[in-house]
Amino acid sequence: MEIIFSGTGYSSSINVKSFSAARNIQILQSAKDVIYNCNKNRNEDKSPLRDFPYNQDNFDWIEKISEEYKVRGKKLLIIADSKEIGQIKALSAYSKFHSISLKAKSLEQTAEQAGKFTAENPQSGIIFIPAAASDSAPALLEKISNLDSQIFVFSESISDDIKNLESKKIVLKKMRIFSPLGLPGLLAGEFMQLDIGQLLSGARKIDSFLGREAPQKNPAAIFASVIYHSRPEKNGLKFGYSENSLHGICEMCKALMGNNLTRNAGNPLTFSFGIGETEQSDIRLVIDELSEYKLGMLIYFLQTASTMLKEFSNL
């Protein structure tokens, strides 16, 4: 089965090939309820990931911050859990960033490594995404606050101890939920000189395909159905469809966009992953060109599919 992202700009589309809805009617049957529940949750504002491409406040804030702090083209360090770092790497096909995983380093090691980074890259930027209930976040922020770097802190819950450290040099911003198309991801995109307007436009373009109620006409529902019913945990596919599904699916995005960039420049980008014992059961994601618009399409598709995968497990 192939899922192909093709076309240019507003004429872009997504098509599923080598998949017979008639022969797979059984696995698509439960997808009707999944689509219904996902659309219902969205209408009730319980699925913020689906609405990120339309959040004008986020876009305006990023544009304002980018202009005020002149972040485009500057070196970037991201301090966060590995799952957030992995998702932002989905944006790094054009430009790379440095990162420190909070779980892999102690507070002292993180501060020391951040100090080395800023010493080598003066006037750089740091995006800090602490865990919502992290007791060590204020202490780490205080340690890195004297570095030669602008610091942007994003969290679902900002404690009073962190608020007390806010300054011209330390910008705090509350986020509802993490996404490469949300505030931290878009700001990272500005550092990497991406056209975030095109990124969000691509996501909006594909949205109309992913809310279709008929499973056989909904590419994300087909994708999620095939993966869910393939029992991937028994076929060597490391792809969780519960709370870690978004992380896993963005790791795929990173592999597709990043690893294929240098050796396939100018050619369609293809990423295959097996869900069965033979190549015939592989799923292939194919993008006809590397652009911010197509990257936005891909990330939004994968995010929506991951939401559907989680919903399958709730049926």
pLDDT-based confidence at residue 170 (cuts at 50, 70, 90):
very high
What's the Cα-to-Cα distance from 305 to each of 177, 211, 227, rounded to whole Å?
Answer: 17, 11, 10
The answer to whether the CB of 292 falls within 8 A of the CB of 254 is no
Long-range pairs of 107-116 with CB within 8 A, sequence gap ≥ 24: 107/136, 107/139, 107/140, 107/143, 110/79, 110/140, 111/140, 111/143, 111/144, 114/77, 114/79, 114/144, 114/147, 114/149, 115/144, 115/147
Residues 208-231: pLDDT tens digits?
899 999 999 999 999 888 888 876
Question: Given this model, what pLDDT does residue 240 score?
Answer: 41
Which of 50, 37, 45, 54 lies closest to 215 in space, CA to CA? 37
Under 8 Å CB-to-CB from 62, ≥6 apart: which residues?
Answer: 183, 186, 187, 190, 196
Q: Compute the distance between CA of residue 269 and CA of residue 254 in angstroms, rounded to an integer.
A: 12
Under 8 Å CB-to-CB from 235, ≥6 apart: which residues?
Answer: 274, 275, 276, 277
The answer to whether the CB of 84 falls within 8 A of the CB of 103 is no
Examine the pLDDT at 42 and tell me if it is beyond 80: yes
Higher pLDDT, 80 or 265: 80
The answer to whether the CB of 242 falls within 8 A of the CB of 310 is yes
Examine the pLDDT at 254 and tell me if it is beyond 90: no
Q: Which domains does the chain have, with CATH numbers?
A: 2-52+197-314 (no CATH), 73-192 (3.40.50)
Q: What is the pTM of this model?
A: 0.88
Examine the pLDDT at 41 and tell me if it is beyond 90: yes
- Percent of the chain at pLDDT > 70 equals 84
Question: Given this model, what pLDDT does residue 299 score?
Answer: 87
- Rounded to an integer, the average pLDDT of 171-179 is 92
- Fill in the amino acid letter for 187: L
pLDDT-based confidence at residue 235 (cuts at 50, 70, 90):
very low
Residues 270-305: pLDDT tens digits?
766 656 555 556 788 888 887 889 889 988 998 898
Q: What is the DSSP letter of 255?
A: I
Residues 99-151: pLDDT tens digits?
999 988 899 999 999 999 999 999 999 999 998 778 899 999 999 999 999 99
Under 8 Å CB-to-CB from 51, ≥6 apart: which residues?
Answer: 42, 45
